[in-house]
């Protein structure tokens, strides 16, 4: 690698924060890995992490709370067949490393000591940079961060006198990780992350409704220029004002048109989790054993792409040190593959996809999504609306629930409208979308040419771990979904 290789620059930053302050060098990491292999073990790794995070929250015109934290530590993992042992410590020292290594090697196969299978030397591997390495926490002073939130509040209130309350949060994170593996790889990444969240409450004639918006990405706080803040204010206020006019949603089975961008959260939850390798290896996913078979309508192509520069869900390397990739999951309706970490890829005898993710050094990696989206089709979005005689147009979603084993989902619509005779009609409230993810894929009848990613607000939960993700899709027409409503 060249001396200016970004991979080496990130490795140098990781050494500075995670090794040198504690008197550690690569030789110490090698000794810890070798200690694991005093018993018969297939694979072992060390995961070091340093995270500095900060947030400010505004309510009633005042920044009422703020937080700042530093978290650091190391996780040690050993793998034998399909079994994993794991230990972690917030004490980064050789003594703690060796103690953790001694703990995890208890998973080793019974019998005498195995061969020392650790690579003789740790060696870095080049990977592409997808974002900068500046610390976003330090990119603005405290006063400027408070002023940013106050400016956002003024923008929201200035849009309409019916705005009664504004709540906003500014969060930034500087995350540095280093992975050392028994196969000789040493890799690191520096991961900035910023986010603004905005909620407004508008009131008219005693009725109150809310709207929300926000965004972010792997950048510093300069990302939030006035143009972006104005757009967040417009989106949140407009949603609240629309909801003030909304009427009770009708219930029943109908044609549903999903707008582009954030409605891709439905795709993420109802379909994406079912395409993660662990669920399919264990046979608990509705997609298990269906590679090469039709699982969606023609034209439906779904990808998971961790390589999009600057996106919230992007990673230069995953949490096992492997490069992320653009993985085609469904191609023209045919299931092509699953998202994999090293354990599940090995057991399923398939290729890695760079989807190993963990919440922190205190968590085990597992296959997770990065940026998951459905690709564009060839239909004009206006044409899709005009094609619907009667239906519902959903442009924004709130919370939802999904059963991975069968794909059944229930999602609340945060902003939705009736479609009547090819025209967008009255807004509706209290609507939920009920269906089955795999079944809904087969009901897609029109795919727009307007793929859009979300603004950078997504967080995904799985087995108690939360990680940042991205979602996206074009405008979609789906036949025969059930809408749960409140109209009598």
Count of alpha carbons within 13 Å of 344, Cβ hemisphere only? 23
- pLDDT at res. 111: 43
Residue given tokens 């200035």 in the structure block = 158
Residue given tokens 């703020």 in the structure block = 66
Q: Label residue 412 exposed, middle or buried (CB < 10 Å: 0-12, 13-18, 19+).
A: middle
**Dist CA 40 CA 315 (whole Å):** 32
Q: What is the pTM of this model?
A: 0.94
**Dist CA 461 CA 479 (whole Å):** 29
Q: Label residue 101 exposed, middle or buried (CB < 10 Å: 0-12, 13-18, 19+).
A: buried
What region, left, alpha or beta, does residue 223 occupy, with left being phi > 0 and alpha being psi -120 to 50 degrees? alpha
- pLDDT at res. 4: 66
- pLDDT at res. 92: 96
User: DSSP assignment, residue 339?
Assistant: B
Beta carbons within 8 Å of 140's beta carbon, 6+ residues apart: 148, 221, 222
CB burial string 48-60: b at 16+ within 10 A, e below: bbbbbbbbbbbbe
Around Cβ 252, how many Cβ atoms within 10 Å? 11
Residue given tokens 């991979």 in the structure block = 7
Q: What is the mean pLDDT of each run of 10 residues along the chain (488 residues)?
A: 74 96 95 89 95 97 94 96 93 95 78 55 86 96 97 98 98 98 96 98 96 97 98 98 93 96 91 95 94 97 98 98 97 98 97 97 98 98 98 91 83 94 95 91 97 96 95 97 79
Around Cβ 118, how many Cβ atoms within 10 Å? 22
Q: Are 415 and 244 in contact (CB under 8 A)?
A: no
């Amino acid at each position: 690698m060249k001396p200016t290789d970004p991979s080496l620059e990130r490795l140098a930053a990781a050494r500075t924060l995670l090794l040198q302050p504690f008197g550690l060098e690569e030789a110490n990491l090698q000794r810890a890995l070798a200690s694991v292999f005093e018993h018969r073990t297939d694979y072992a790794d060390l995961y070091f992490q340093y995270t500095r995070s900060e947030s400010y929250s505004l309510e009633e015109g005042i920044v009422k709370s703020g937080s700042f934290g530093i978290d650091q530590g190391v996780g040690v993992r050993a793998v034998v067949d399909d079994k994993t042992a794991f230990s972690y410590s917030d004490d980064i020292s050789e003594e703690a490393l060796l103690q953790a290594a001694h703990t995890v090697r208890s998973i080793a196969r019974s019998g005498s000591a195995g061969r020392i299978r650790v690579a003789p030397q740790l060696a870095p591997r080049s990977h592409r940079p997808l974002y900068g390495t500046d610390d976003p926490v330090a990119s603005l002073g405290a006063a400027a961060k408070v002023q940013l939130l106050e400016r956002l509040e003024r923008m929201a209130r200035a849009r309409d006198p019916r705005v009664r309350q504004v709540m906003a949060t500014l969060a930034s994170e500087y995350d540095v990780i280093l992975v050392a593996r028994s196969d000789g790889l040493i890799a690191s990444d520096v991961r900035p992350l910023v986010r603004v969240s905005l909620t407004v409450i508008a009131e008219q004639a005693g009725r109150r409704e809310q709207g929300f918006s926000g965004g972010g990405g792997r950048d510093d706080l300069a990302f939030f220029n006035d143009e972006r803040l104005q757009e967040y204010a417009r989106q949140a206020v407009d949603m609240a004002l629309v909801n003030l006019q909304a009427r009770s949603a009708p219930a029943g089975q109908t044609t549903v048109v999903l707008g582009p961008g954030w409605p891709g959260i439905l795709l993420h939850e109802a379909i994406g989790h079912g395409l993660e390798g662990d669920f399919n290896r264990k046979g608990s996913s509705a997609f298990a054993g269906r590679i090469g078979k039709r699982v969606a309508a023609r034209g439906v192509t779904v990808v998971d792409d961790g390589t999009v520069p600057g996106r919230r869900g992007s990673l230069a390397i995953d949490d096992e040190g492997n490069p992320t990739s653009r993985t085609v999951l469904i191609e023209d309706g045919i299931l092509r593959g699953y998202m994999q970490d090293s354990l599940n890829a090995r057991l399923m005898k398939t290729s890695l996809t760079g989807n190993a993710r963990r919440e922190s050094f205190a968590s085990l990696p597992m296959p997770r999504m990065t940026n998951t989206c459905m690709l564009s089709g060839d239909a004009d979005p206006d044409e899709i609306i005009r094609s619907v005689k009667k239906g519902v147009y959903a442009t924004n979603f709130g919370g939802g629930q999904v059963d991975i084993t069968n794909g059944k989902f229930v999602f609340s619509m945060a902003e939705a409208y009736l479609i009547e005779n090819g025209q967008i009609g009255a807004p509706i409230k209290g609507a939920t979308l009920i269906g089955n993810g795999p079944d809904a894929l087969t009901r897609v009848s029109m795919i727009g040419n307007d793929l859009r990613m979300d603004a950078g607000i997504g967080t995904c939960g799985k087995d108690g771990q939360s990680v940042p993700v991205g979602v996206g899709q074009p405008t979609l027409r789906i036949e025969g979904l059930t809408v749960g409503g409140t109209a009598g």
